[in-house]
A and B are shown apart, each in its own frame.
Chain A
Amino acid sequence: PPPRCFWQSAELAGLRCETLSVPRQITALQLWEEKVRLHPRLAVIRDQVVFAVRQEYVLLGDQVLVLQPGDEVAIIPPISGG
């Protein structure tokens, strides 16, 4: 089964959670580009989001992520807690 994808505060894309089918080894940037391919309106927030994989922050760059089935990937908009 493909890795799960978790989407928080996704008012722009109008969805919360979807499952993506991606190669097991993929960079965060490629994962983002796949997401934008499915939801082009997301492109405008690219500079404002960070990724988290298995609940750890990951830079949206060329570092290769090794994903396992069921891994949670979150696209995190600017935070405002506290």
Chain B
Amino acid sequence: MDESEDVPKDFIKLKSEKLSVDEVSELVISPYCGAVSLFIGTTRNNFEGKKVIHLEYEAYTSMAETEIKKICRDVRQKWPSVKHIAVHHRLGVVPITEASVIIAVSSPHRTESLEAVMYCINTLKASVPIWKKTSQELGEGLS
């Protein structure tokens, strides 16, 4: 079986349109992989005890893409069997319950893709220059 037909790829996108779980998971599907692991980050309706109306994300775009590429490179060093990696992050306004980030990783067996997805989101939150601004109701607790 010639696995060189399915060269490992990284799919990185920052966009203001609604994210699609179908689209992101389809990017990483491979006939050589039995596992696709996904993480979806969605906006919550509360933050620090206050009700959130929506979140707004902004990025230092050029550096954000560079840092996400580094994360993909690190994933491939730690889990060499990982095939494809997709990271889509939404910018601008993200309404409550919609996805702000979707990460998908494929690998032949499940352990690597599960671990790699966790590594991706944890490292993204620690190192990628993206910020969220919350639109909150002031002076109001949760009902």
Number of A-B contacts (CB under 8 A): 53
Q: How many residues of B contact A (CB 8 A)?
A: 22
Out of B89, B121, B128, B131, name the residue touching A77 (CB < 8 Å).
B131
Which of B3-11, B20-28, B53-61, B72-80 contacts the other chain?
Answer: B53-61
Chain A residues near B124 (CB, 8 Å)? 81-82
B118 close to A (CB within 8 Å): no
Distance between Cα atoms of A8 and B131 in the complex (Å): 10
A interface list, Cβ under 8 A from B? 6, 8-9, 52, 55, 57, 74, 76-77, 79-82
**Additional 14 contacts, C-beta under 8 A, given A55-B62, A81-B131, A82-B125:** A8-B60, A8-B131, A9-B58, A55-B63, A57-B127, A74-B60, A76-B60, A79-B130, A80-B130, A81-B57, A81-B59, A81-B124, A82-B41, A82-B130
